[in-house]
């Protein structure tokens, strides 16, 4: 077997092995206040900034993956990772941020 093929076979084997290993999910704890603020930011982002895939006016618009990921993380309870991203996206869109409780 050629060295190149051997390396490719080894890389493929390692990637397949990595896919079969159980994934450990790190849980982060966010305060109720952070979760509530994150929910407000997510709502504003989805309503005014992010593309709504169900809207007929958004045909052909590419959704913002970074914003979508931040909203998803917020829903999963990871407000610490989501809040800075959502704040930045809202500020970039000239939106006023809601007061933080």
pLDDT digits (tens, 9 = 90+) for 3-61: 555 444 544 444 544 444 444 444 557 899 999 999 999 999 998 888 655 555 555 55
**Counting Cβ atoms within 10 Å, is residue 43 exposed (0-12), middle (13-18) or buried (19+)?**
middle
pLDDT grade for 89, boundaries at 50, 70 and 90: very high
Q: How far apart are CA 31 and CA 54, in angstroms?
A: 32
Q: Indicate whether this model's pTM tops 0.85.
A: no
pLDDT grade for 91, boundaries at 50, 70 and 90: very high
**How far from each other are the two terminal CA atoms of the chain, in whole angstroms?**
64
Rounded mean pLDDT, 71-97 = 94
């Amino acid at each position: 077997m050629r060295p190149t093929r051997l390396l490719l076979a080894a890389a493929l084997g390692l990637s397949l092995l990595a896919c079969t290993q159980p994934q450990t999910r790190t849980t982060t704890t966010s305060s109720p206040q952070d979760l509530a603020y994150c929910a407000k930011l997510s709502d504003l982002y989805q309503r005014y900034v992010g593309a709504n895939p169900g809207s007929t006016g958004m045909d052909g618009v590419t959704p913002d993956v970074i914003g979508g990921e931040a909203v998803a993380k917020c829903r999963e309870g990871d407000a610490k990772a989501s809040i800075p991203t959502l704040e930045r996206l809202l500020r970039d869109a000239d939106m006023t941020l809601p007061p933080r409780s």
